[in-house]
Structure 1
Amino acid sequence: MSKQFTDGQEFRAAPRRMTRERMRWYVDAQPTIAADDGRIHTQPPTIHDDDDYARSQGLPGIIADGMISTNWIQSLLVDTFGSGVAARSRLRTKYIAPIYEDQWVIARARVKQTATLADGRRQIDLEVWCEDDGEKMLTVGDATVYVA
């Protein structure tokens, strides 16, 4: 990859709105994949798909599964470093605040440091996060990618 990355450089994805439909897809994904019969399978109410259940658990309404924001960060890495990054990277995230329906989320990254490895590849260590209104308040973490 010919693009150069420098310490402190930041990049971001376009803002995405967390929709009820998007949250539902994640709830249904696991039982649907496990069944592997071509039909959509649902599970009992969760904090990710049922407002009444979420309120019974002390939340104001449904919240997004944390993997959605992690996937949006991974998507930013793929868009920035190329489609092979999933096989040549490490991503670790922590969920520090819930993401609610209709909340706008922006995946971001900042280069912490770069290094040239003995085999000529570049190692790029990143701080990654999802934010809303400029606050790193949703999902935080770090990533390391390796590029030719």
Structure 2
Amino acid sequence: MSLSLEAGTEFRTRPRAMTRERMRWYVDGQPTIGADDGRVHTQPPTIHDDDNYAKSQGLPGIIADGMISTNWIQGLLVDVFGPQFACRSRLSTKYIAPIYENDTVIACAKVNTVVVNAEGKNVYTLDVWCENEVAKKLTVGTAMVVAG
């Protein structure tokens, strides 16, 4: 794949709703994979899947696990840079605002720098983030991708 992205180039996903079902899948994923017995396994109530528990912790309702937004950013980078992103890259994120049920979320990235390494490959540094429908940042971070 030959990319020619310049510093300042921005790209983003389509807006997606953070649904209760999507949040539930993520909560159940780890114990289900760990059990590896073909059944869905649930865990005790958390702020990510139980409104009463979330409210007992001072939240207005359930919030998405931050890794969902990180996964959406990673998906955007795979869409742009291809599967090589998983092999020659770094991604770091920080969760700065909760994502509530039915929030609209958009994964975004902006190229900061492009340099050519000793192997002749483009090395991109990027700012990455997820924002809501009014451009409030929810997750922020950085990425480095070696492309080519």
TM-score of the superposed pair, with normalisation by structure 2: 0.97
SS in 2 for 1:32: helix
CA separation of 1:80/1:60 partners in 2, compared to 1, >3 Å: closer, same or farther? same
The equivalences for 1:2-81 within 5 A come to: 2-81=2-81
SS in 2 for 1:135: coil
Q: CA RMSD in A?
A: 0.8
Partner of 2:95: 95
SS in 1 for 2:87: helix
Partner of 2:115: 115
Aligned residues of 2:123 and 2:146 also touching (Cα < 8 A): yes
Aligned residues of 2:84 and 2:147 also touching (Cα < 8 A): no
Where in structure 2 are there 5+ consecutive unaligned residues? Answer: none
Aligned residues of 1:13 and 1:106 also touching (Cα < 8 A): yes
Question: Counterparts of 2:43 and 2:85 in 1: how far apart (Å)?
Answer: 33
Percent pairwise identity: 67
Query: Shift in Å at residue 88 of structure 1?
Result: 1.2
Question: Counterparts of 1:130 and 1:145 in 2: how far apart (Å)?
Answer: 18
How many residues are matched? 148
Question: Counterparts of 1:99 and 1:30 in 2: how far apart (Å)?
Answer: 20
Partner deviation per Cα, 1:29-87 (whole Å, 9 max, x = no partner)? 11111111111100000000000000000000000000000000000000001122111
Aligned residues of 2:3 and 2:147 also touching (Cα < 8 A): no
Question: Counterparts of 2:28 and 2:133 in 1: how far apart (Å)?
Answer: 29
Query: Shift in Å at residue 136 of structure 1?
Result: 4.2
Does 132-141 or 54-63 show the bigger shift? Answer: 132-141
Aligned residues of 1:129 and 1:136 also touching (Cα < 8 A): no
